Amino acid sequence: MSDDVKKGLLGIVVDETTVSQVMPDINSLTYRGYAVQDLCEKCNFEEVAYLVLNGELPNKKQLKNFVKEERLNRKLSKEILSDIRKMPRKAHPMDVVRTAVSLMALEDKETKDNSPKANMRKAIRIFSKTPIAIAAFFRARKGKKIISPKRNLSFSENFFYMCFGKIPTKEMVKAFDVSLILYAEHSFNVSTFTARTITSSLSDIHGAITGAIASLKGPLHGGANEEVMHMMNKIKKPEKAFKWINKALQNKDVIMGFGHRVYKKGDSRVPTMEKYFKKVASIKKDKKFMKIYDIVKNVMIEKKNIHPNVDYPTGPTYHLMGFDTDFFTPIFVISRITGWSAHIMEQHSANKLIRPLSKYSGASHRKVMLLNQR
């Protein structure tokens, strides 16, 4: 590969952003200038969603209005709900949620309007409705009755309620809220860049988020939290973890939930999520995954100097909360909608068509032969 080809856009700065900053050298991630660790301890997810979308933390009145709008939009049309009920039970929930957002575009009165105000209204509608689609499929594929959202519940409480028909303890809801805060935004990752690329042709927010969901599904990106759980289930017992990970490394396997394109000395979101994962494991009185977690992590750091990324602790946390493994990445979606939307609006506000170049390495110029001569 010649030096002028930057495969994977490695190290290339393609635009400016005011949404978040990743500083791998000092292990820091900030949203609009605020450290994520602080946001996790001092704010709930709705406050952080407002921050990511609007650029500032809300005051009481702004939060009240934002929460009111999010709750008022918690409804899906009976047509979309009926489509979700009919979707194949074996379909991957990421394909269902991608399709659901695409269907929302057909019904939204402002789909074509890319003005800043319309984009913000659409972002909030997608943000409110997407968890309903995910929870509906969570129940429908098990043959269970779909549960309607409740407007007197917080964003996280309502998601638990729509999935399980009940709300867990405050500590559990806080752990879920923290995971959503940590998943909300992460600069020019592949799904966000996909959303910005789609937007750059002046396409609409529903299309950009649909494309971003497709991108997030991959195991090298959001899909890693599901793969982490598959790995832990394969390991089965803490006593087997050491041997398992050493063998996997000998086989040169890629270990899911480890490594990062930007963070090479550790992911700044991990310590916070790890703390809440351990809290959830204590509440559930189930320390098996915690032990496997520590053994695999220690071997990866000692032998490869490769650190866990945020998907490593979120996988087992969601499992302990009772979510099916293939719903872990859709949970990531309900949070990242905020980051994607902020980037889509930023792209619209200072747009330049994204169109990189490629170096041609195919056949040299040749003549077209007629069909009967080939």
CA nearest 163: which of 141, 194, 190?
Answer: 141
Please tell me whether residue 323 adopts helix, strand or coil conformation: coil
Residue with tokens 């506000």: 349
CA nearest 318: which of 165, 126, 160?
Answer: 160
Measured between alpha carbons, how far is 237 from 63 in angstroms, rounded to an integer? 45
Distance in Å from the first CA to the final CA of the chain? 32
Measured between alpha carbons, how far is 119 from 325 in angstroms, rounded to an integer? 32
User: Which residue is at the shortest CB distance from ligand COA?
Assistant: 259
| Residue 339 contacts ligand COA per CB under 6 A | no
| Residue 183 contacts ligand COA per CB under 6 A | no
What lies within 8 Å, CB to CB, of 95 at 6+ separation is: 217
Minimum distance, C-beta of residue 129 to ligand COA, in the bound complex (Å):
26
**Which residues from 300-329 bind ligand COA, rule CB under 6 A?**
306, 309, 311
Taking the least distance from each CB to ligand COA, the nearer of 202 and 220 is 220
Q: Is-contact 307 270, C-beta < 8 A? A: yes
CA nearest 138: which of 318, 356, 295?
Answer: 318
Under rule CB under 6 A, how many of the chain's residues touch ligand COA? 14
E-assigned strand segments in 69-191: none
Measured between alpha carbons, how far is 101 from 206 in angstroms, rounded to an integer? 6
Taking the least distance from each CB to ligand COA, the nearer of 77 and 233 is 233
Is 4 among the residues known to form the active site? Answer: no
| Residue 9 contacts ligand COA per CB under 6 A | no
| Residue 230 contacts ligand COA per CB under 6 A | no
Binding part of the chain for ligand COA, among 109-117, 218-226, 318-326, 344-352 by CB under 6 A, reads 218-226
Q: Is-contact 137 333, C-beta < 8 A? A: no
| Residue 254 contacts ligand COA per CB under 6 A | yes
Is 365 among the residues known to form the active site? Answer: no
| Residue 174 contacts ligand COA per CB under 6 A | no
Question: Exactly one of 204, 267, 311, 326 is catalytic; which is it?
Answer: 311
Minimum distance, C-beta of residue 62 to ligand COA, in the bound complex (Å):
31
Minimum distance, C-beta of residue 95 to ligand COA, in the bound complex (Å):
20
Taking the least distance from each CB to ligand COA, the nearer of 154 and 179 is 179
Minimum distance, C-beta of residue 298 to ligand COA, in the bound complex (Å):
15
Is 204 among the residues known to form the active site? Answer: no
CA nearest 311: which of 296, 328, 327?
Answer: 328
Taking the least distance from each CB to ligand COA, the nearer of 9 and 106 is 9
**Which residues from 262-301 bind ligand COA, rule CB under 6 A?**
none
Taking the least distance from each CB to ligand COA, the nearer of 20 and 114 is 20
Whole-Å CA distances, 347 to 51, 124, 191, 274: 17, 17, 14, 33
Measured between alpha carbons, how far is 215 from 213 in angstroms, rounded to an integer? 5
| Residue 255 contacts ligand COA per CB under 6 A | yes
Question: Exactly one of 206, 260, 307, 319 is catalytic; which is it?
Answer: 260
Please tell me whether residue 275 adopts helix, strand or coil conformation: helix
| Residue 256 contacts ligand COA per CB under 6 A | yes
Residues engaged in binding ligand COA (CB under 6 A): 220-221, 224, 254-261, 306, 309, 311
Residues tagged active-site:
221, 260, 311
